[in-house]
Chains A and B, each alone.
Chain A
């Protein structure tokens, strides 16, 4: 090769590579393999991330679905003519402050006739949310002529009743019967006598459950017997006695059994009513009437049924009477499922079925507005100064390093700063979006400065030089030519910074925005909370219905984030210039 070069100086330099030798080909194959391997690693990494993301999203979305619908009872509500005093009839304030509980109670009792006694009546009224009359209240206030008429209105169910229709209740099985049955009465504690051994099947199940309990007691007794603690021997003896009693019952196939709340609930649907079995024998039962019977006459075969609520009463939030009532409403076609608009139109509440996000969304909007108004001009100005005007010396170097440091400071520190500065020193109000916005502005300012400087730096120097060349001042060159071209990048950086601020809770803890606030804020000094804080607060509440609410609030927050990031991408695509 060297020979060629020295002798033919005029010819272009050529380097020959022998690509046909086995070594070279092995090398080529090795390189291809390495590349294929790298590609598959990359693909694997992306797939793993995608799977995690998909699992997360699917989990959150499926958990959130129940929160977006709500169940209510469509009932006829009679509004008596003397509901408000005649002279107050056209006074909305009087209509709003009237007592709606009797109306609700009457409507429920009309829908399910025959419910007697204080206990069952209270159970009935507890099926409804405390916010059930809200719709009627507003309708009456808007149209007082409805007073004295009967209106059809949706009455919101309480959270437990609502969850029951969303699948948190119990499985219900019904068994047809072969013989006749005669109830002794229509209400109270009654006995039902069947013509054959109709209940023997249920009795067997109960006996098996008793045998199971006996086995558990024996295991427990054995453990107690091994114990060295004082009193263990007596406990073991006690348990053995219990176990023996249980076993005796379990073995005697004919004896009647008392049912308790640890066993699945058994009921008899007969003559239009429902009886909860408390004592069970093969051919007769004793029980409490949950829904009154229409008559005590004999029921023909097939006209009465044995109903089982598979989940024991002690393992449910909702008792047998409530299940019976809700099932009755359902068969009457009075349960209506609708989209939960309230979730977006009302503020926070301690009742899951009434709680909404409007307060948090408004609070978020106000807080982010304050943040944007503060940090966009300051951030861009700082970036322009540092990038275009500032002399390069040790002082600006220190500033630059510290901006980068600030971007890495944990957000809780900004919260402490906010507490010390804005609340204690300046005396600004606690929990206000103004202070939240100020704190978040401190948090995103470094991000915006860094992004803006990068965007300014990306504008080719030729543009500025051309402007300077035709006689523009330095400031004119920057503001007329460089800044407009850098704007898409600045916007993208700002939106990403704001999206970061949208997800922050830690700094807001310190300034009192982690709070229960019912009223929707109307200004930047009103008490307010923000979406991520709302999620945090709901996730910590004991009510089961709040779990779905939490997931739904996360979905709303994610939608906000997607919209903001989508806008950033759109802006970049729309206005981006390439050189």
Chain B
């Protein structure tokens, strides 16, 4: 009897492999992977695309930027995704990986800007920070008064600067696996480090030590890794008025009733300030399309057109409603024009 079962099971497996390898080769649905930051926007476009009769609604997976590139660059063909979301530009290594696997024509489309905000409860003391203060509060090692690197001694904000309130440093933020964490390092910690004289000097003398300084965050409890879910951080800030949280602008915008964005270097995280580039804690968001799939999987060009259309991407578009900060008009027009031509990314354009 068990032998019969074995044979039956083997038969089922064989049949399924034969049958579904076939099903996979005829794909008529766009597949998108990548960043969880871009996910809320790409899904909105996907839904509109499906509703407007452009074709089947694309499937959008939330895999993270790095995971997205890994899948995207794995090869050309129906088994591989057509687009990937990214909360940063493609890296050299990823580009080479793509090329090695035959993904030679990648189209980069900048879709908007995401402000990375430090926020606090409205009930808490209203404080304004500089990048340098953020660095000093959160870096694992900071220079002491002789300029020597020591373990971060600051317990309260007022230890860093007497003008700051005398409350414990407590910042809730994303874990190292998150793309938002990478952005936080690049947008806040690195410029902050450059503003601290002793560390800035290090940049010239010992590049490695400098990079280590801004890439490491203290682990003594002042920085709390609150998980990938930004709503959890929002809820914790509501109950803890002295804590600060790091998350995307769209979450701040949804919770303005209870939260306030911390002004950084004199600029508050507001829509206009981010759009105009005055607020420094902002990063561009991208989608990458596989040009070799255009014409093979129906609708990719139409999907990209929907994404860059004014009704989606402009200041009054539905993506702005979802919290995406629109690109300045001139840049948006440029993106729309170049994405229409589907010009693939040249190797020289990949910088980091």
Residues in chain A within 8 A of chain B (CB atoms): 97, 216, 220, 223-229, 232, 311, 314-317, 349-351, 374, 377-378, 381-382, 384-385, 389, 423, 426-432, 434, 475, 479, 512, 514-519, 525, 527, 537, 539-544, 547
Contacts and interface: CB of A to CB of B under 8 A. Distances in A.
A260 B228 CA distance: 36
Given A516-B62, A547-B231, 19 more contacts: A223-B162, A229-B130, A314-B256, A316-B257, A350-B44, A377-B9, A381-B5, A384-B1, A426-B17, A426-B21, A428-B20, A429-B23, A514-B61, A517-B57, A527-B29, A540-B36, A540-B62, A541-B231, A542-B230
Contacts of A349: 47
Given A517-B59, A519-B56, A539-B231, A434 B16 contact: yes
A518 B47 contact: yes
Contacts of A434: 16, 20
Contact of B162 (A227, A351, A384): A227
A314 B61 CA distance: 35
B254 A542 contact: yes
Contacts of B230: 540, 542
6 contacts: A426-B16, A432-B20, A517-B57, A517-B59, A527-B59, A540-B36
Given A317-B254, A426-B21, A542-B323, A518 B50 contact: yes
Interface in B1-35: 1-2, 5, 8-9, 12, 16-17, 20-21, 23-24, 27, 29, 31, 33
A435 B46 CA distance: 24
A317 B23 CA distance: 46
Contacts of A384: 1-2
Nearest to A96: B53
Contacts of A315: 122, 256-258
B79 interface: yes
A412 to B, nearest CB: 13
Given A479-B1, A525-B23, A537 B257 contact: no
B163 A431 contact: no
B100 to A, nearest CB: 17
A429 B164 contact: no
B144 interface: no
Given A228-B162, A384-B2, A428 B62 contact: no
Contacts of A220: 126
B241 interface: no
B327 to A, nearest CB: 20
B253 interface: yes
Nearest to A131: B51
Nearest to A479: B1
A427 B24 contact: yes
Nearest to A312: B257
Most buried by A among B63, B79, B254, B258: B254
B44 A216 contact: no
B20 A429 contact: yes
Contact of A232 (B46, B163, B248, B257): B163
A223 B163 contact: yes
A223 B231 contact: no
B228 A540 contact: yes
A542 B47 contact: no
Contacts of A351: 47
Contacts of B39: 516
Given A223-B164, A314-B256, A542 B24 contact: no
A426 B14 CA distance: 10
B161 interface: yes
B43 A516 contact: yes
Nearest to A529: B59
B60 interface: yes
Contact of B251 (A224, A350, A542): A542
A544 B163 contact: no
Given A428-B16, A543-B254, A381 B2 contact: yes
A473 to B, nearest CB: 12
Most buried by A among B56, B163, B258: B163
B229 interface: yes
Contacts of A223: 162-165
Given A315-B256, A434-B16, A350 B40 contact: yes
A430 B31 contact: yes
Is the contact region of chain B dominated by helix, strand, or loop, or is it mixed? mixed
A57 B327 CA distance: 44
B322 interface: yes
Nearest to A523: B23
Contact of B60 (A227, A430, A515): A515
Contacts of B8: 377
Contacts of A518: 46-47, 50, 57
A525 to B, nearest CB: 5
A514 B24 contact: no
Contacts of B255: 544
B314 interface: no
Interface string B222-253: 00000011110000000000000000101101
Contacts of A547: 231
The 7 A-B residue pairs with the shortest CB-CB distance, nearest first, are: A227-B163, A518-B57, A516-B60, A516-B43, A515-B61, A226-B162, A381-B5
A541 B248 CA distance: 11
A102 to B, nearest CB: 16
A432 B59 CA distance: 11
B40 A541 contact: yes
Contacts of A229: 130, 161, 163
Contacts of A374: 9, 12
A466 to B, nearest CB: 21
A477 to B, nearest CB: 13
A351 B165 CA distance: 41
A8 B231 CA distance: 84
Interface in B164-201: 164-165
A540 B251 CA distance: 10
A223 B163 CA distance: 4
Nearest to B255: A544
A314 B258 CA distance: 10
A512 B61 contact: yes
Contacts of A515: 59-62
Contact of A542 (B2, B40, B62): B40
Nearest to B6: A381
Nearest to A544: B254
Nearest to A350: B44
A530 B322 CA distance: 24
A554 to B, nearest CB: 14
A389 B29 CA distance: 49
Nearest to B57: A518
B47 A317 contact: no
A431 B126 contact: no
Contact of B57 (A423, A519, A540): A519
Contact of B1 (A216, A381, A543): A381
A426 B17 CA distance: 6
